């Protein structure tokens, strides 16, 4: 079951041409806050992702060593 979509968040921003000498914004604009690409992970999901990455690197290293040994002719 997927989690519900997060609510849209907005932040108050100001273009540089609308900032006075005192540092105040004359024309504030509300812009959507950029959301994360990936959802936050709990410890169990983060561990699964980490071991999947480490496993992929290990398989790649083993394949590289096997191909190198086959190319050189050392068994």
State the pLDDT at residue 50: 96
73 secondary structure, DSSP code:
T
pLDDT digits (tens, 9 = 90+) for 16-60: 898 999 989 999 999 988 877 878 889 999 999 999 999 999 999
Alpha helices in the chain (DSSP H): 43-72
Contacts of 47-52 with CB under 8 Å at 24 or more apart are none
The full set of domain ranges for the chain reads: 7-36, 38-75
State the pLDDT at residue 37: 80
Q: What is the pTM of this model?
A: 0.50
Q: How far is 64 from 18, CA to CA, in rounded Å?
A: 57
């Amino acid at each position: 079951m997927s989690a519900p979509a997060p609510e849209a968040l907005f932040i108050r921003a100001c273009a540089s041409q609308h900032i006075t000498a005192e540092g105040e914004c004359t024309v504030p604009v509300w812009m959507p806050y950029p959301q994360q690409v990936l959802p936050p992970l709990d410890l169990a999901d983060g561990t699964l992702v980490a071991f999947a990455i480490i496993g992929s690197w290990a398989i790649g290293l083993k394949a590289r060593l096997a191909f190198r040994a086959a190319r050189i002719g050392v068994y």
